Chain A
Amino acid sequence: MLTKRIIPCLDIKDGRTVKGVNFENIRDAGDPIELGALYAQQGADELVFLDITATNEKRKTLSELVTRIARHVNIPFTVGGGISSIEDVNVLLNAGADKVSVNTAAFRNPELLNGLSREFGSQCIVLAIDTRFEEGDWYVYLNGGRVKTDIKTTDWAKEAVERGAGEILLTSMNNDGTKQGFALDITARLSQNLHVPVIASGGAGTMEHFAEVFEKAQADAALAASIFHYKEMEIQDLKTYLYKRGVQIRF
C-alpha cells in the first residue's frame, strides 16, 4: 500500500536554515544539508526546502545549494520560493531537485502551470496555496500571506490541477503556528475533490494532529517545520505512533 508521507520543511535564507536549533549529532544546526540528511536518516519520507529570500541575485546560490543537497540526501526533495518561470524550474531540476513548488507566480500567471507540466511533467510540479478562512469560506492569499485575493481556494486548486499541477501543498494561515492541529475541513475538501495528492501544512502540534489529518481529512502527506526543528517531536516516534493507530506508514 502507498503510505502517508511525513515531510519536514526547512526554511532557507542565504543558504542557511533559519529555524535550526541545537540538534545533537550534527555539527552545524544551520546547515540545510546536514539537517536534511539527519531527517532522512530519522525516517522523513520527503523534504521541502523553502527559500524565503529567493531573489534573482540569490538564484545561483540556491541552485548550488540544491546540488549539494542532491548529492547528500537519498530521499526526494522539493524546492520552493520565488519561482516564477520555466527557466527557474529548469535550473533547479537540473541542479538535482526532484520537484519544485510554485505559489504566487502561478496564481498571477496560471499559464505557467500548463507550461511547466508540458515541459517537465506534472509529477514534479507542486502548487503551494496559502489559505485563510474568512466570511464563511477559504480564500487564496499571495506573497507569503500578505496579499488577500477574492478567489476561493477550492476554485483555484481545481483550476491549477486542470492546468497541470501534480500535487497541492495547502497551508492554512489560520492554523499555522498555533499548534492546534491542521485545518481538517479544507484539506478534506481538496483531497476528496482532486485527483492529485494533497499535502497538509500548518498547525501540527501533537501526534494526534497528524493522525487526524490522515484519517479524517484524507491528506496524502503532512508537512511541519518547528515541531521537528525544535525537537518537540521525533519523526521516528511520530511514525511509530501512527503505525500503531493503523495509519499506513513507511518504516
Chain B
Amino acid sequence: MKTAIIKYNAGNIRSVLFALERLGVEATVTDDPEELRAADKVIFPGVGEASTAMNYLKERKLDLLIKDLKQPVLGICLGMQLLCKHSEENDTECLGIFDLPVKKFESPVENLLKIPQIGWNNIAGLHSVIFEHVPENSYMYFVHSYFVALGPETTAIANYVINYSAALQKDNFYAVQFHPEKSADLGQNILESFLKL
C-alpha cells in the first residue's frame, strides 16, 4: 500500500509522518501529480494560513489535482478547512469539496473565549468508519482559530461556545479539524482506520 502526504507549505507534515511511522507505515511526502494520483491513500495535512496555502497549491496546480483524487483522502486541520468552500481567513476561496463555510471563533464577551482554541476537546455524534475504534465523547487535540460550520457532511461535532464540525466526510474525502497525529492512542486509531479503508 502506498500512502502519500501532500507536500506544501504546511507546518505539521513531520508530525504526521512520525505518527504513520509509529503505525508501521512509511509514507511519501510529495507534490508530484503522478505520485499522488498513484497512491492508495492521500493525507492532506496543514497548519498555517489559508490564503498562503491556497496560493501555493494553485501555483503548482495541486488544487485541481486534489479535487480530482479518487482514492481515500484525509484532510487534517487547515487541510480540512481548505477542502471547504470559503474561509473567512483573508477571504479565501477554497477547494469546495464540502459546500461549507469556514468562520472565525468569536468571543461573546471579551477574553472569555481564548483564541486560538488550544487543547483537548471532546467529539460527539460520531458516524464515520474512521471513528470505528473511537468511543463517543473522546478527547482530541485541537489548535485552531477558524472552524467549519455544521452541515450534512458533518461526521463529528465539537463545541467551543458554538457547535461546529470536528470531522466531515463526503465520498472519498474525509476530514478532521483536530490533530489525530497528536491525539494520543485514540488519534492513532483514527489514522489506522483511515489507512485500512
What's the Cα separation between A1 and B18 when bound, in Å?
28
Answer yes or no: A5 CB below 8 A from chain B CBs. Answer: yes
Residue pair A71, B18 in contact (C-beta under 8 Å): yes
Known: A3-B139, A123-B47, A192-B111. A96 touches B119 (CB 8 A): no
Residue pair A96, B117 in contact (C-beta under 8 Å): no
In angstroms, how far is the closest chain B Cβ from the Cβ of A182?
18
Contact with A along B42-68 (1 / 0, CB 8 A): 000001110000000000000000000
In angstroms, how far is the closest chain A Cβ from the Cβ of B134?
14
**Cross-interface CB contact of B110 among A98, A122, A195, cutoff 8 Å:** A195
Residue pair A121, B47 in contact (C-beta under 8 Å): yes
Answer yes or no: A110 CB below 8 A from chain B CBs. Answer: no
What's the Cα separation between A122 and B48 when bound, in Å?
10
Residue pair B14, A74 in contact (C-beta under 8 Å): no
**Cross-interface CB contact of B122 among A1, A98, A193, cutoff 8 Å:** A1
Q: Which residue of B lies closest to A5 (CB)?
A: B119
What's the Cα separation between A5 and B11 when bound, in Å?
23
Total interface residues on B, CB under 8 Å, equals 40
Interface positions, chain A 1-45, Cβ under 8 Å from B, are: 1-3, 5, 40, 45
Answer yes or no: A93 CB below 8 A from chain B CBs. Answer: yes
What's the Cα separation between A71 and B21 when bound, in Å?
8
Answer yes or no: A163 CB below 8 A from chain B CBs. Answer: no
Which residues in B have their C-beta under 8 angstroms from that of A196?
A: 114-115
Interface positions, chain B 77-96, Cβ under 8 Å from A, are: none
Residue pair B182, A1 in contact (C-beta under 8 Å): no
Partner-binding segment picked from B26-34, B166-174, B183-191: B183-191
Answer yes or no: B197 CB below 8 A from chain A CBs. Answer: no
Answer yes or no: A166 CB below 8 A from chain B CBs. Answer: yes
Answer yes or no: A197 CB below 8 A from chain B CBs. Answer: yes
Interface positions, chain A 201-236, Cβ under 8 Å from B, are: 220-221
Known: A71-B21, A120-B11, A195-B114. A3 touches B119 (CB 8 A): yes
Which residues in B have their C-beta under 8 angstroms from that of A72?
A: 22
In angstroms, how far is the closest chain B Cβ from the Cβ of A162?
13
User: Interface residue tally of chain A, by bracket?
Assistant: 20 to 34
What's the Cα separation between A195 and B113 when bound, in Å?
7
**Cross-interface CB contact of B119 among A2, A93, A194, A251, cutoff 8 Å:** A2
Interface positions, chain B 118-151, Cβ under 8 Å from A, are: 118-122, 139, 141-145
Answer yes or no: A70 CB below 8 A from chain B CBs. Answer: yes
Q: Which residue of A lies closest to B110 (CB)?
A: A195
Which residues in A have their C-beta under 8 angstroms from that of B159?
A: 1
28 A-B interface contacts by CB (under 8 A): A1-B122, A2-B120, A2-B160, A3-B119, A3-B120, A71-B18, A71-B22, A74-B181, A74-B187, A74-B188, A75-B141, A75-B182, A96-B14, A98-B12, A98-B182, A121-B11, A122-B116, A123-B118, A123-B145, A166-B118, A192-B111, A194-B111, A195-B107, A195-B111, A195-B115, A197-B114, A220-B114, A250-B139
The 3 closest A-B pairs by CB, nearest first: A250-B139, A250-B120, A3-B120
